[in-house]
């Protein structure tokens, strides 16, 4: 190192700080800092907030080269696919990194035994006396195996995927995919698999309920192989551990497998580094205020630290471990409960610490402004049209798709054609990645996966249910409907070449329930309907949905209210509808009206 270089000291500063904090960081007296500010035309008192650029000038005059704190640099840069906390750890000096306990998330189909398995793991590892200490449901805990800690995160077990689940995989080092030996691979097993794949997290299969008389391990292994998870005993690389949560069979093996997988991946953090982690869950407690479960992922969190998570912030008044015991500090991979945040942060939100509550408020104000800006300009919405431009701008690396079709017979040719496009490598670079393919309507869980992985949803002869629609609107997810396979494939091909014409975007405008059928010789069948939401327009297109399946898609030939031909009928009103080229309408059918509009390329 030359002498000149060693004279300037480098320092990391946040985007905003008080004069006092700056003075402390550069080991100068606040008076001197204020003097330098004055000579630069800034009148500031000791508690005033100054921004990074101003602070950097002061620091420079005092012999420091300032750079923006790494965590803020990372926050400002493109989120990409790698979670911020991982990028932060990657930015740490290698020599400062130490191994940390692996974080394990359990995913799987409803009732397949996730909670029972977690309980079995916990009971076999926790002293009886300690169990009594657990007073409430906890969603995160640690166990010790072979003297090594493992952190487990339970995920809510509702039928629908929750946002937490998709984020749960984001925070995990290892995913345990639970499949019941008596039930096999089910829809949510596949969804869980898609989430884990999207998050690029290594996976172990726990085949639960192995004690049951109707357990069929070979069948399940075959199903897993069909999903691309070839069991290790078949020379694949997926570890499949047969277990029983109720009989406590295979628990040790599972823990061994977790440590084995963990040893194959770098599971590191810097105990003394920047403090960052993820909000596991949070709620408002009447007597304790906001109580949040946090998973520390880097650095060591202390009582008294000022935590910032999204727009929620506060000084930590108290911290508890998963037994509910008061603790003062918590290092990487430790789940803790904290009190002191001013509002309830979202589950899955990242948290970090800042120097003071004043800084926190300044950053929150900025974030709120950014959020408003982002809402105004939705150009970052992932659409098939914008795909190519965003690829060229380096914002995305592949085209991610979620494909839903009415029947397996259509799904297979669609997916294999998409994979062929991928293999033929259009333009030599952009990859098509089908994150999830399944039969049935587009549902909320599809949209959650799309939102968390910037994917586009493509439906073939299916419709999106109302929860999915709501989420699509809120998260600005593009759903594309098709009824001809080659059109779907063609659009994807065009998108990869940046040649897709303006999108014909579909908007569902209303639904009507068929309550009676009238036969009129001149028209054929007229459906007597009630508009249940939105409106039906004469010039709209109409899907006929029976037992949640789309059985027809076409035009309206007449729309009547009482005896008159009308242009539209609104929610709550009755109407008579006659469809073009469809005479099989039945009582109980649901009619979905939609319009197609040309939307310019974003």
DSSP 425: T
Using the rule CB under 5 A, is 157 a contact of Mg ion? yes
Q: Which stretch binds ligand GTP (CB under 6 A): 239-247, 386-394, 402-410, 584-592?
A: 239-247
Q: What would the two tokens of residue 149 be?
A: 């800690």
Distance CA 392, CA 85 (A): 26
Q: Which stretch binds Mg ion (CB under 5 A): 138-146, 152-160, 312-320, 461-469?
A: 152-160
Residue 157 C-beta: closest distance to ligand GTP, Å: 2
Q: How far apart are the first and last CA of the chain?
A: 50
Helix residue ranges per DSSP H, 62-139 = 70-76, 84-91, 114-123, 128-132
Distance CA 262, CA 145 (A): 13
Q: Are 532 and 466 in contact (CB under 8 A)?
A: no
From residue 139 to residue 158, the character string flagging contacts with ligand GTP as x (rule: CB under 6 A) and all else as - is ------------------x-
Which residue shows structure tokens 């500010």?
37
Using the rule CB under 6 A, is 245 a contact of ligand GTP? yes
- Measure CA 314 to chain center: 25
Which parts of 376-498 are beta strand (E)? 398-405, 431-439, 456-460, 479-482
Using the rule CB under 6 A, is 383 a contact of ligand GTP? no
Count CB atoms within 10 A of the CB of residue 83. 18
Using the rule CB under 6 A, is 116 a contact of ligand GTP? yes
Residue 260 C-beta: closest distance to ligand GTP, Å: 22
User: What, of Mg ion, ligand GTP, none, does residue 212 touch, CB below 5 to 8 Å by kind?
Assistant: ligand GTP
| Angle 266-268-271 from CA coordinates, rounded to 5° | 175
Residue 309 C-beta: closest distance to ligand GTP, Å: 26
Select 189 or 578, whichever has its Cβ closest to ligand GTP: 189
Using the rule CB under 6 A, is 122 a contact of ligand GTP? no
Residue 109 C-beta: closest distance to ligand GTP, Å: 7
Residue 160 C-beta: closest distance to Mg ion, Å: 14
Q: Are 489 and 584 in contact (CB under 8 A)?
A: no
Q: What would the two tokens of residue 110 be?
A: 């409803």
Residue 320 C-beta: closest distance to ligand GTP, Å: 24
Contact residues for 123 (Cβ-Cβ < 8 A; gap 6+) = 131, 248
Find the binder of ligand GTP among 67, 91, 115, 329 (CB under 6 A): 115
Q: What would the two tokens of residue 540 be?
A: 């709209």
Select 212 or 315, whichever has its Cβ closest to ligand GTP: 212
Select 215 or 540, whichever has its Cβ closest to ligand GTP: 215
Distance CA 318, CA 303 (A): 6
Q: Are 380 and 370 in contact (CB under 8 A)?
A: no
Find the binder of ligand GTP among 195, 209, 313, 436 (CB under 6 A): 209
Angle at which helices 408-424 and 485-497 pack, to 10 degrees?
Answer: 20
Residue 305 C-beta: closest distance to Mg ion, Å: 32
CA distances from 126 to 344, 436, 466 (A): 30, 38, 44
User: What, of Mg ion, ligand GTP, none, does residue 245 touch, CB below 5 to 8 Å by kind?
Assistant: ligand GTP
Using the rule CB under 5 A, is 156 a contact of Mg ion? no
Using the rule CB under 6 A, is 208 a contact of ligand GTP? yes
Residue 105 C-beta: closest distance to Mg ion, Å: 13
3-state secondary structure of 485: helix
Using the rule CB under 6 A, is 244 a contact of ligand GTP? yes
Q: What would the two tokens of residue 210 be?
A: 């192995």
User: What, of ligand GTP, Mg ion, none, does residue 557 touch, CB below 5 to 8 Å by kind?
Assistant: none
Q: Which stretch binds Mg ion (CB under 5 A): 51-59, 115-123, 311-319, 372-380?
A: 115-123
Find the binder of ligand GTP among 23, 87, 89, 114 (CB under 6 A): 114
Select 108 or 277, whichever has its Cβ closest to ligand GTP: 108
Using the rule CB under 5 A, is 162 a contact of Mg ion? no
User: What, of Mg ion, ligand GTP, none, does residue 410 touch, CB below 5 to 8 Å by kind?
Assistant: none
Using the rule CB under 6 A, is 481 a contact of ligand GTP? no
3-state secondary structure 39-53: HCCCCCCCCCEEEHH
Select 71 or 174, whichever has its Cβ closest to ligand GTP: 174
Find the binder of ligand GTP among 25, 54, 92, 112 (CB under 6 A): 112
Find the binder of ligand GTP among 24, 32, 61, 211 (CB under 6 A): 211
| Angle 187-190-196 from CA coordinates, rounded to 5° | 145
Length of the chain (residues)? 602
Closest CA to 47 of 16, 15, 13, 20: 20
Q: Which stretch binds ligand GTP (CB under 6 A): 6-14, 163-171, 238-246, 513-521?
A: 238-246
Q: What would the two tokens of residue 367 be?
A: 């974030």
Using the rule CB under 6 A, is 397 a contact of ligand GTP? no
Residue 248 C-beta: closest distance to Mg ion, Å: 17
Distance CA 597, CA 199 (A): 34
Residue ranges in contact with Mg ion by CB under 5 A: 114-115, 157
Residues that bind ligand GTP (CB under 6 A): 108, 110-116, 157, 208-209, 211-212, 244-246
């Amino acid at each position: 190192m030359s002498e000149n270089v060693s004279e300037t000291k480098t320092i990391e500063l946040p985007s905003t700080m008080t004069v006092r904090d700056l003075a402390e960081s550069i080991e100068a007296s606040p008076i001197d800092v204020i003097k330098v500010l004055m000579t630069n035309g800034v009148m500031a008192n000791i508690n005033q907030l100054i921004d990074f650029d101003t602070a950097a000038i002061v620091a420079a005059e005092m012999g420091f080269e300032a750079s923006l704190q790494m965590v803020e640099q990372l926050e400002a840069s493109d989120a990409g696919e790698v979670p911020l906390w991982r990028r932060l750890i990657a930015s740490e000096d290698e020599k400062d990194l130490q191994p940390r306990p692996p974080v394990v998330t359990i995913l799987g189909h409803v009732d397949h035994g996730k909670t029972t398995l977690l309980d079995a793991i916990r009971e076999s590892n926790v002293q009886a006396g300690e169990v009594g200490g657990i007073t409430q449901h906890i969603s995160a805990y640690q166990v010790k195996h072979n003297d090594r800690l493992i952190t487990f995160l339970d995920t809510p077990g509702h039928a629908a995927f929750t946002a937490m689940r998709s984020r749960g995989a984001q925070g995990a080092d290892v995913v345990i995919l639970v499949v019941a030996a008596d039930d096999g691979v089910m829809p949510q097993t596949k969804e869980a698999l898609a989430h884990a794949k999207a998050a690029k997290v290594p996976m172990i299969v726990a085949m639960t309920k192995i004690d049951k008389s109707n357990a069929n391990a070979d069948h399940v292994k075959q199903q897993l192989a069909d999903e691309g998870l070839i069991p290790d005993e078949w020379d694949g690389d997926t570890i499949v551990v047969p277990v029983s949560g109720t009989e406590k069979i295979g628990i040790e093996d599972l823990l061994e497998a977790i440590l084995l997988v963990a040893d194959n991946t770098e599971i590191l953090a810097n105990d003394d580094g920047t403090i960052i982690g993820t909000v596991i869950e949070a709620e408002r407690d009447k007597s304790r205020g906001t109580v949040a479960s946090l998973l520390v992922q880097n650095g060591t969190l202390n009582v008294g630290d000022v935590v910032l998570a999204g727009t929620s912030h506060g000084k930590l008044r108290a911290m508890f471990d998963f037994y509910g015991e008061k603790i003062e500090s918590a290092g990487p991979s430790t789940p803790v409960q904290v009190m002191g945040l001013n509002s309830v942060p979202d589950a899955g939100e990242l948290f970090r610490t800042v120097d003071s509550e004043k800084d926190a408020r300044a950053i929150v104000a900025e974030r709120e402004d950014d959020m408003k800006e982002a809402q105004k300009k939705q150009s970052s919405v992932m659409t098939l049209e914008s795909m190519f431009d965003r690829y060229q701008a380096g914002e995305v690396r592949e085209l991610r798709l979620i494909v839903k079709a009415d029947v397996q017979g259509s799904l297979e040719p669609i997916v294999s054609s998409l994979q062929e496009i991928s293999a033929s490598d259009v333009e030599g670079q952009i990859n098509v990645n089908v994150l999830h393919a399944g039969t049935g309507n587009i549902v909320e869980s599809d949209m959650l996966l799309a939102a968390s992985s910037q994917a586009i949803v493509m439906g073939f002869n299916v419709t999106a249910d109302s929860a999915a629609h709501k989420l699509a609107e809120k998260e600005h997810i593009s759903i594309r409907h098709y009824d001809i396979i080659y059109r779907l494939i063609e659009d994807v091909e065009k998108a990869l070449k940046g040649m897709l014409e303006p999108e014909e975007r579909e908007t569902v405008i209303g639904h009507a329930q068929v309550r009676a059928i009238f036969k009129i010789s001149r028209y054929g069948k007229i459906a007597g309907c009630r508009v249940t939401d939105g409106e039906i327009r004469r010039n709209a297109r109409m899907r006929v949905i029976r037992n949640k399946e789309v059985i027809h898609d076409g035009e309206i030939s007449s729309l009547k209210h009482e005896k008159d031909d009308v242009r539209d009928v609104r929610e709550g009103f009755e109407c008579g509808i006659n469809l073009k080229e469809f005479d099989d309408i039945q009582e109980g059918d649901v009619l979905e009206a939609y319009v197609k509009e040309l939307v310019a390329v974003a």
